[in-house]
Chains A and B, each alone.
Chain A
Amino acid sequence: NAGVMQNPRHLVRRRGQEARLRCSPMKGHSHVYWYRQLPEEGLKFMVYLQKENIIDESGMPKERFSAEFPKEGPSILRIQQVVRGDSAAYFCASSPTGPDSGNTIYFGEGSWLTVV
């Protein structure tokens, strides 16, 4: 039973380049969440998506960051024109139903972005 799959696990980008992080939720899960973790910090919520819909993007920076979860394929977190401050671990999580039903949210192993 595959868990939440994220790739790439590690990504190095030069300042100004684009970073694309992919996430495939657990089988049967249609709710996806992205969190960011800075070194020695807890995880910070970024965005919550269902298939083809962004439900809550209150944690997303207003510029350069976008997320999608198309009808087919993985969820994508896209960071344009990366800066050094974007260096962090980005975690995707999924749940079978919405978070208000108290379903456990399971996390992937993360994508570590380093901007040089």
Chain B
Amino acid sequence: GESVGLHLPTLSVQEGDNSIINCAYSNSASDYFIWYKQESGKGPQFIIDIRSNMDKRQGQRVTVLLNKTVKHLSLQIAATQPGDSAVYFCAVNSGYSTLTFGKGTMLLVSP
């Protein structure tokens, strides 16, 4: 089955810095990848997704990079703000109907 791991449980940055959150997956057949943001007491909020036919996708202040060779996914947040403080999960499709989630990285942004 699929396993998804995040490299760092906690990432502390200063406001204005760029943040990079990493994720590794195991199944080379996975073809759809999503980053979610979860604030305390709330549900996961969609941030950005990428399909396996791409290696980079940009949104507003966020970029997702996909390296299929090493099965690695990253989320870059530019000019991190206090409101970005949350737990970030990567999710990978791992079958017809399931997403496999990593355990999450807590991003702490200090002013």
Contacts and interface: CB of A to CB of B under 8 A. Distances in A.
A74 interface: no
Contacts of A98: 96-97
How would you classify the secondary structure of chain B's contact residues: helix, strand, loop or mixed? strand
Interface string A17-61: 000000000000000010100001111110010000001101100
A33 B97 contact: yes
B97 A56 contact: yes
Given A99-B93, A104-B49, A110 B100 contact: no
A102 interface: yes
A104 B44 CA distance: 12
B10 to A, nearest CB: 11
B89 A48 contact: no
A58 B98 contact: yes
Contact-residue bracket for chain B: 20 to 34
Nearest to A56: B97
A42 B96 contact: no
A26 B92 CA distance: 22
Given A42-B89, A42-B103, A102-B51, A107 B44 contact: yes
A55 B101 CA distance: 20
Given A42-B89, A99-B96, A108 B43 contact: yes
B46 A43 contact: no
State the 5 A-B residue pairs at the shortest beta-carbon distance, nearest first: A42-B101, A48-B97, A107-B43, A56-B97, A45-B98
Interface of A: 4, 6, 33, 35, 40-45, 48, 55-56, 58-59, 91, 98-100, 102, 104-110
Interface of B: 4, 31-32, 34, 36, 42-46, 49, 51, 89, 91, 93, 95-104
